[in-house]
Structure 1
């Protein structure tokens, strides 16, 4: 209970409630009185400390589980907390290269004879696509010997040996053997080799196929590769600043939004983008 004393104030003429107990008086003085700046400064320090503590605990839990917790590839299990050539945390969060997630979701309804992953790294996309297309065989190319060993471990750990085959060879010779009648899904991240690989002869092999290519350039000019695909495919360019993360997927995580945004951030080059190539024969 409070006893009310009316105080005249020339500035605001407010009615102020005077607490009866010292504890209430002290609390009111700290929160609203002349020491309130110091009080809220202490609260801010405590809040930041608590946020970092929660973040540390969350990341530790993420590493311990080593499992993708959201996104189209939810459920991928990592044999160890290692990601080849890219950040692990965005992959475990399911936000890795999030700008192409809508594209991946839009492909789920399609039927493909085979899926080919060029530059498969530890298998995030190869294994991820195996979850979306459980009845489709997948070939994963990875030329780095150590990375391919990790890729094979990941495939075995996720029990996908019967669906995913791997190769340490360059894919060019295999592509020459592909029938142009087949409808394939190609996902490529080959660090610039795409400009050499997808020449006019190879493009003819994929007139019925859909492709997602990560582009490695030093500008945003239209590449020869894109020009060569124009006759047979609808082309969409997706820049890295186009994505939106669906925060609702993470509503049950005890972590604030600022910390979340910091940990899903990825190191991208200035000219990083994808091109989505959809066959005009099927779209």
Structure 2
């Protein structure tokens, strides 16, 4: 069954189930159609440019033809989570000895950040074995497999293993950040830089809760999602405005602000 047939099957079932009778159901159908269209855009980008990231801090990275979670086009275009790019550009060997990517998915950040350095050790943790395999595949494609270690669930006590060094924690774990980012329980966090996506969509107010925990030891900055138009390839001029928007769409269904937190000392 191809992509068109899958989308049509999903919509037929939604209609049979009465999805068109409520705003929530209509929204569900709209999201399904948007994902279908965005996957077609993925295919166009790959056909024209291959799997090389076009722009942003990870420009030149060879990516996979799939994303372990969510969107693909923004990653290939290099506009994925664009408000974070200024901080990501700061990642160099002189900035960090170790990067811990918790919730690494297929390794977009783990491998992308490894490419920006030459000696920094990168630890990529994800509870999904398929995602771990994808990280290893992506690392090998980009020649950084010797500096990336994959692992499963990261425990709070593991922060102590990296105390005293220059460590960056990148975290995206669908609300699990509430339990892990506890400097009152894991003192090593006081000396670490933290880049975390806060899932207020699941736990309202979570971003401010975590920010408050770190204000005594860190400079804390909130970064909200913005639809930042990238320099789209010229052929996008021949597409619709909707396709241009969907090329940048990251499949989010609610607020997921980021916190950039740097130690004061």
Give the structure-1-normalised TM-score: 0.70
CA–CA distance in structure 2, aligned partners of residues 109 and 141 of structure 1: 21
Larger Rg: 1
Given the alignment of the two structures, is residue 156 of structure 1 paired with residue 155 of structure 2, yes or no? no
CA–CA distance in structure 2, aligned partners of residues 190 and 220 of structure 1: 16
Change (3 A) 1:129 1:146: same
Given the alignment of the two structures, is residue 253 of structure 1 paired with residue 242 of structure 2, yes or no? no
Given the alignment of the two structures, is residue 200 of structure 1 paired with residue 183 of structure 2, yes or no? yes
Q: Which residue of 2 aligns with 1:136?
A: 120
Q: Which residue of 2 aligns with 1:225?
A: 210
Given the alignment of the two structures, is residue 238 of structure 1 paired with residue 219 of structure 2, yes or no? no
SS at match of 1:255: helix
CA–CA distance in structure 2, aligned partners of residues 139 and 190 of structure 1: 15
What stretches of structure 1 of length at least 5 have no aligned partner? 1-54
SS at match of 1:99: helix
- Length, aligned pairs only: 220
Given the alignment of the two structures, is residue 72 of structure 1 paired with residue 81 of structure 2, yes or no? no
Q: CA deviation at 1:82?
A: 0.8
Q: Is the 8 A contact 1:121 1:142 kept in 2?
A: yes
Change (3 A) 1:69 1:177: same
Change (3 A) 1:240 1:222: closer
Deviations 1:128-148 (A, max 9, x none): 001112221111101111221
- 1:97 is aligned, of 55, 68, 81, to 81
CA–CA distance in structure 2, aligned partners of residues 77 and 245 of structure 1: 22
Q: Which residue of 2 aligns with 1:211?
A: 194
Q: Is the 8 A contact 2:229 2:248 kept in 1?
A: no
Q: Which residue of 2 aligns with 1:122?
A: 106
Change (3 A) 1:133 1:56: closer
CA–CA distance in structure 2, aligned partners of residues 162 and 270 of structure 1: 37
Change (3 A) 1:207 1:170: closer
CA–CA distance in structure 1, aligned partners of residues 250 and 127 of structure 2: 24
Q: CA deviation at 1:177?
A: 2.5
CA–CA distance in structure 2, aligned partners of residues 119 and 221 of structure 1: 18
Q: Which residue of 2 aligns with 1:275?
A: 259
SS at match of 1:86: coil
- 1:186 is aligned, of 166, 169, 172, to 169
Q: Is the 8 A contact 2:156 2:180 kept in 1?
A: yes
CA–CA distance in structure 2, aligned partners of residues 109 and 172 of structure 1: 25
Q: Is the 8 A contact 1:122 1:147 kept in 2?
A: yes
Given the alignment of the two structures, is residue 145 of structure 1 paired with residue 126 of structure 2, yes or no? no
Structure richer in helix, relative to its length: 2
CA–CA distance in structure 2, aligned partners of residues 222 and 117 of structure 1: 19
Q: Is the 8 A contact 2:53 2:77 kept in 1?
A: yes
Deviations 1:172-211 (A, max 9, x none): 34223332x2221111011111100111345520223211
Q: CA deviation at 1:99?
A: 1.6
Q: CA deviation at 1:91?
A: 0.5
Q: Is the 8 A contact 1:98 1:245 kept in 2?
A: no
CA–CA distance in structure 1, aligned partners of residues 54 and 216 of structure 2: 39
Q: Which residue of 2 aligns with 1:265?
A: 249
Q: Which residue of 1 aligns with 2:158?
A: 174
